[in-house]
Amino acid sequence: MHDVVAGYGNTTVLHDVNIAVDDGQIACLIGPNGSGKSTLMKSIYGFADVKAGTVTLRGEDITGRSPQENLANGMSYVLQEASVFPGMSVHENMLMGGYVFEDDERANRRAEELYDEFPILGDIRDQRAGTLSGGQRRLLELARALMVDPEVMMLDEPSIGLEPRFIDDVFERIKQLNDLGTTILLVEQNAEKGLSVADRGFVLASGEIKFTGTGTELLNDDEVGRLYLGG
Ligand SMILES: Nc1ncnc2c1ncn2[C@@H]1O[C@H](COP(=O)(O)OP(=O)(O)OP(=O)(O)O)[C@@H](O)[C@H]1O
């Protein structure tokens, strides 16, 4: 993002934001509640209004592109809010992740590949998504976002509301995906956990980037520790 000013209608949330994530990296964005972390992701993906500045992907200007265009372009996004379709089965939810495919068979094939990766989802493919536990739901959201085999993934608070044993599992998955070449931008309330897996970290406060560094640099920075990591 280059000098991005963004928000919703007349409301401005982000002020001159500059961040860069290299190909193949995991980047983690931390900051207080309401600082604009979700808005930053939404303005990359076309869910918030970019009023000035540009968003580029591999050098190409993607400012203002719609979520559908971004998805078809190999970028997927797991929202902070619960986003499974509760009345649909696990499998139907998976197929929704591939709705940009022109060919239905391709979506079915891709879902089968992902059940090999996530056997727990294969086992419950016919279950209504509304009946899943929090951990199962998060896994479904993650797997559904993989339907398009994305090059870039944005994950907004993947560990929110999960029991500790599921949190470790989700972070393991994130590292595995990154090892397979997916570039990841993460927003994480659990700042220590997020920064500890991140090649690059950003601290956002009041809509401005206050600190940038490697994950380790931010974890070891006294001021970041005092202000944002609970001392
Ligand atoms: N759709 C919207 N319309 C208007 N204002 C919004 C909208 N969504 C968010 N905001 C405002 O934008 C600001 C930043 O919210 P945002 O959700 O981006 O913060 P955040 O850092 O992700 O917070 P949290 O850590 O609590 O999830 C808040 O003041 C919020 O009220």
**58 part of a folded domain:** yes
**12 part of a folded domain:** yes
**131 part of a folded domain:** no
Q: Which domain holds residue 63?
A: 2-83+150-228
**101 part of a folded domain:** no
Above 70 in pLDDT, residue 164? yes
pLDDT reported for residue 189? 87
For residues 77 and 207, what is the distance between their CA atoms, to the nearest angstrom?
20
**49 part of a folded domain:** yes
Above 90 in pLDDT, residue 208? yes
**160 part of a folded domain:** yes
pLDDT reported for residue 173? 85
At residue 168 the predicted structure's pLDDT band, cuts being 50, 70 and 90, is confident
Give the residue whose CA is nearest to atom 7 of ligand 1: 8
Q: Which residues line ligand 1 (CB under 6 A)?
A: 8, 11, 13, 31, 33-39, 80
pLDDT reported for residue 159? 85
pLDDT reported for residue 231? 63
Residue 52 sits in a domain whose CATH number is: 3.40.50.300
Positive or negative CA dihedral for 109, 87, 39, 99?
Answer: positive
Predicted complex: ipTM over 0.95? yes
Give the residue whose CA is nearest to atom 27 of ligand 1: 33
**Of 78, 16, 4, which Cα lies nearest the Cα of 44?**
4
Structure tokens at 152: 């870039």
Q: What is the position in ligand 1's atom list of the atom closest to the CA of 157?
A: 27
**7 part of a folded domain:** yes
Query: Across residues 150-177, what is the average pLDDT?
Result: 87
Does pTM surpass 0.90?
yes
Q: Which helix (H) or strand (E) holds 135?
A: helix 134-145
At residue 226 the predicted structure's pLDDT band, cuts being 50, 70 and 90, is confident
Specify the number of domains making up the chain: 1
Question: Ligand 1 centre from 171 Cα, in Å?
Answer: 24
Query: Across residues 90-97, what is the average pLDDT?
Result: 95
Question: Ligand 1 centre from 39 Cα, in Å?
Answer: 6
Between 166 and 119, name the one with better pLDDT: 119
Give the residue whose CA is nearest to atom 30 of ligand 1: 34
Amino acid 1 reads: M
For residues 93 and 97, what is the distance between their CA atoms, to the nearest angstrom?
7
pLDDT in tens, 22-45: 999 999 999 999 999 999 999 999
**Alpha helix ranges (H) inside 37-133:** 37-45, 67-72, 90-97, 104-117, 119-123
Question: Furthest-apart CA pair in the chain: how many Å?
Answer: 53
Give the residue whose CA is nearest to atom 9 of ligand 1: 39
**132 part of a folded domain:** no
| Ligand 1 pocket, mutate which of 37, 188, 203 (most atoms under 8 A from CB) | 37
Above 70 in pLDDT, residue 144? yes
Question: Phi-psi bin for 12: left (phi > 0), alpha (psi -120 to 50), beta?
Answer: beta
For residues 87 and 148, what is the distance between their CA atoms, to the nearest angstrom?
23
At residue 162 the predicted structure's pLDDT band, cuts being 50, 70 and 90, is confident
pLDDT in tens, 178-201: 998 999 999 998 888 899 999 999
Between 167 and 38, name the one with better pLDDT: 38
